[in-house]
Amino acid sequence: MERRENLPATQDSKTNNHHQQQSEAAAIAENQSRTQPAPPPFRFSNRVVLKTILEGEDGGVGFVGRRVVVGGWVRTSKEIRKESAAAPEQQLPAGGGQVSRISPGHKDVSCVEMLQARIPLFRSIIKILAGGSHGAFGGCSGTSPVREKLPPASPESRIQRPPPPSTAYLLVSDGSCAASLQVVVDSSVASPALFLPIGTCLLVEGILRLPQSPGKHRVELSVEKVLHIGTVEKDKYPLAAKRVPLENLREASHFRHRSTTVASVMRVRSALTFGSHTFFNNGGFFYVQVPIITNTDAEGFSSKFQVTTLLSGKEDAPAKGGDELSIEAVKAAIREKSSLVEELKRSESNREALAAAVQDLRKTDQLAAQLEAKQQKTPKPGFLTTKSSKLNVAEDFFSRQVHLTVSGRLHLESYACALGNVYAFGPRFQADRYANPRYQAAEMWMLEAEIAFSQLEDAMNCAEEHLKFICKWVLEKCTGDMGFISNRIDKTCIDRLQATIACSYERIAYMDAVEILKKVTDKRFETSLVWGIDLTAEHLSYLADEMFKKPVIIYNHPRDIRPFYARLNDDLKTVATFDMVVPKVGKLVSGSQNEERIHMVETRIKELGLPIAQYEWYLDLRRHGTVKHSGFALAFDLMVLFVTGLPDVRDAIPFPRTFGKANN
């Protein structure tokens, strides 16, 4: 008995200790908040960015007690109903009589009364058999009266009960960081049904406080006012399911960045962009925007997207008048007129109206026949027509054949000959339908640099320093996101970046790389190794991932597999080019020292059969004040793969364009 009496006291002491610890922590946080300023609102609105609160050293504890406005999207939610006080049991009348409610747990209620209250049919049978006697069925209680059934309540007397009070716990993210803020909304502030669906947008005002129960959240927001709710059609929202695979998210590229994984990747991508701009700005480079539409093929052998306006001529525009009518609308009119004719035939009351309706129906049938005949001659959607089978480029917008640029290095070179050191950053396009979509998309962003008065080794040094700089930059600027990516995508990503920063890159000539790969006995390559071939992704991966286990720079490639502008070496077989190969991704950077000798460039253009007229402007750079120069191009989307460990470049591009895929 003594142990039983002590149990509640022990439980109460534990509860009191917990509340005491909570009170002490709250008091400490409140004292800290008096000296800690409130988190600053975003410069262009009154809301506080969650990164300001959650990515501090104390996780936001220093801001406890502060009033803030936050906005974001619901990632997860749950509703907890509050415990309501039990309704008092009604005292049964001593002498018998009608009551509106019988409590099942009341001691004075007999077994018969319980059955009468819950089973109307059984109660009726008892009344018939008992014949009004109170003691006929007294097995449970011989003196208990039979209770009469209450008449049904009228609709006017029925009162709509309010939903029970509850509290909603939401994890809200505004996209500024990987962490989410726990937001607590009481049902007295707003109905939980409005913001419980995943993806709901909220703008709320409240007080930052310590969580009432210990957990992974160091601070939470107690909402006092809801300023905005952006509702969600939860049956159609594509991210409602948990942990949607990345390949499924590609079908909803306009929503997928609301997922934690894609959002972290895009923040890393943003940091890499800003880090690259910082590197070149600190290095004395000028930022130049090169054209996307050009008539010059920078590579000489690329698959290009042609740009033309001739495929949207006037002959394809719909004619005015009746041709604007669709066949579906005419058929719908036929059905209506047919119904009218049938109705007039049944009534037999107005022959003139019937004759007019029949005539109108015949004209509509003729119109439908004409539209169907014309539709058969018109190409189906997805096919384009022109005035002739061969395009007349003289009538085109630019009066010449142009395409989307494959590389900006040639145009960048012209500015290097005036400004010294320049770089460009933008989309480049390849219409290669046979490319591996995991590593190449139709539209990929390239970071290109050109250095005047430099040679091949200078470009290699610049590319190496740039890679180390942005790896260090992303580790310092994206600590939270890289931690999340390490847990969710690739556990080795942080170690890989740290090793890339610390190591010295291996530099080998193309000829030496071929000889090294020929001696490999523990692996059989699909492509035979002979001098003069372009090393495949399999060869490059073996060198970087298995042999050297660090970035490798391969230089001096055969002239026949490199662009025409690469400078010819003294052996007349190789050109001054280089590829930087990194683990997990493969070739990340390609660069070269460009040919400054005009006769060499002209010879290479003729060898490749390129129209020399298109390159006259490029040859002018050699005719007037030529200079030795070099540069490189970094595949920026592949850089995101290298940093994050993603296996597919389509998940590193905000809106990927690949063969047959351009949904939005």
Closest CA to 70 of 146, 184, 168, 198: 184
217, 50 contact by CB (below 8 A): no
Q: What are phi and psi of 204, to 5 degrees?
A: -130, 160
Q: Which residues of the chain have pLDDT under 50?
A: 1-15, 18-19, 29, 32-34, 85-110, 112-113, 115, 132-146, 314-323, 381-382, 384-388
CA distance 64 to 210: 7
Structure-token match 């208990």, residue found = 144
**Partner residues linked to 425 by β-bridges:** 447
CA distance 145 to 132: 9
Q: What is the pLDDT of residue 24?
A: 54
235, 632 contact by CB (below 8 A): no
**Partner residues linked to 594 by β-bridges:** 566, 629
* Cβ neighbourhood burial of 295 (10 Å; 0-12, 13-18, 19+): middle
Work out the number of other CB atoms within 10 angstroms of the CB of residue 136. Answer: 13
Structure-token match 């019937």, residue found = 354
CA distance 492 to 483: 11
Does an H or E element contain 183, and which?
strand 181-186
Q: What is the pLDDT of residue 379?
A: 52
Dihedral over alpha carbons 528, 534, 539, 543 (to 10 degrees)? 130
pLDDT tens figures, 348-366: 656 667 777 777 777 777 7
Torsion sign, CA atoms 245, 248, 250, 256: negative
CA distance 311 to 385: 6
Q: Which two tokens stand for residue 527?
A: 């492509």
Structure-token match 């939470």, residue found = 220
Dihedral over alpha carbons 412, 418, 420, 424 (to 10 degrees)? -20
172, 53 contact by CB (below 8 A): no
580, 553 contact by CB (below 8 A): yes
CA distance 108 to 105: 9
Closest CA to 459 of 570, 358, 553, 360: 553
Q: CA dist 261 to 239, 264, 489, 528, 581, Å?
A: 12, 5, 8, 40, 26
Question: At 52, which amino acid appears?
Answer: T
Q: Quick check: helix, strand or coil at residue 627? A: coil
Q: In the chain, what is the greatest distance between 2 CA atoms, to the nearest angstrom? A: 126
Render 118-141 in DSSP notation, one character per residue: H-HHHHHHHHHHHTT-SSTT-SS-
Q: What is the pLDDT of residue 587?
A: 97
Q: What is the pLDDT of residue 87?
A: 37
